[in-house]
Amino acid sequence: MRITSAEVLVSSPGRNFVTLRITTDNGFVGLGDATLNGRELAVAAYLSEHVVPLLIGRDAHRIEDTWQYLYRGAYWRRGPVTMASIAAVDTALWDIKAKVAGLPLYQLLGGRSREGLLVYGHASGAELPELFDSINEHLEEGYRAVRVQTGIPGLSSVYGVASSKNAAAGAGSGSDARYDYEPARRSAVPVEETWDTRAYLRHAPTVFEAVRNEFGPELPLLHDAHHRLTPIQAAKLGKSLEPYDLFWLEDVTPAENQAALRRVREHTTTPLAIGEVFNTIWDYRELFEEQLIDYVRSPVTHAGGITALRRIFDYAAVYQIKSGVHGPTDVSPVGLAAAIHLGIAIPNFGIQEYMRHSAATHEVFRTSYRFADGMLIPSDDPGLGVDYDDLVAQSFPYEAAYLPVNRLTDGTMHDW
């Protein structure tokens, strides 16, 4: 079964996505997600100019060999552009293999270890009443775990906080609609926001105290620090949040400095999650072997695909570390579907991030997974269970969009 074509599809139904579609000589089609938020065209070019020519004529069944060929064949290994490209190929080939077998992909990964994946949603608001409304909305929708983010007194906007008050800046179009998590904003250059670490460290514990008082001790609560803190600041935050029993504290300090997590671990028992900006197993070695984290955040899309992320999870399981796959709306429904199938199969699943894609996104990507009782559940359709509508996609052309950058209150560019 030979690969006869590999198409790189760029569309923007609500936000930008890069999709790889591989077709074989006997008519099987597989999809892979290669979206890299704010750098989509870099991955599209890498795929089109350097990867697609290598795929034509290859045996689509040889997934492991193709993964090694693409990884080892590039002298410049690793990195988000390379690994997102490899991930797209790998996921598309797994999609094809499962379709040839006539089985949902999770069956080829060992079958079910659970009926569904517990997910968490993103609750946020500029102030506590808005945050409480958001938490209640998520609970009414069926979520059983929520990530909590709020505005900070003195700051006009905060990354990761959906609010009508900063919608005009967030949407970039004068809209009064809320923008949501990971707000890649339509603009030619990144928007700059102001950040105040001391104000954040003072405010965060008061928020979680209020949330616990309002919603009780049983609701799993998560929080993302978005890499903004030094190791000692991160340790201080983790310790201050211990009374509120977080499910996890995410990305407390820039992840490149793995040794920094030792300082955090020494001072707090709050569970730690990290890794959404990691893209290979090598990024985790020190964190796993010294047991410095509790949850792995890498998504299928940015960590080299199903083949590579399964290896990471197997390595993590040796140290009783669980999965917590990154799943915001800049991972396409193809990438989310791949994460669902993998999460259903692995023994050390922890939780899955889930933010609903827009209606426009689902017009382009037709999905068969479902959300019920706080869980994501794959269908039993062969493969990933996702189709791509070319005709609809043509009405959503690429538009430049970037995540914001931060400056401290003294004007210094923040290093997170």
Fill in the amino acid letter for 281. Answer: I
Q: Note the Cα 96 to chain centre separation in Å.
A: 23
Within 8 A by CB and 6+ apart from 208, the residues are 148, 221, 223, 241, 244, 246
Tokens matching residue 317: 């399981």
Tokens matching residue 49: 């100019």
- Rounded Cα–Cα distance for residues 34 and 43 (Å): 7
Fill in the amino acid letter for 335. Answer: G
**Rounded to 5°, angle at Cα 307 from 37 and 298:** 40
- Rounded Cα–Cα distance for residues 157 and 192 (Å): 10
Q: Radius of gyration of the chain from Cα atoms?
A: 21
Q: Are strands 248-250 and 405-408 parallel, antiparallel or unpaired?
A: unpaired
Residues assigned a catalytic role: 159, 226
Tokens matching residue 240: 């201050």
Q: Which residue has the tokens 């429904």?
A: 333
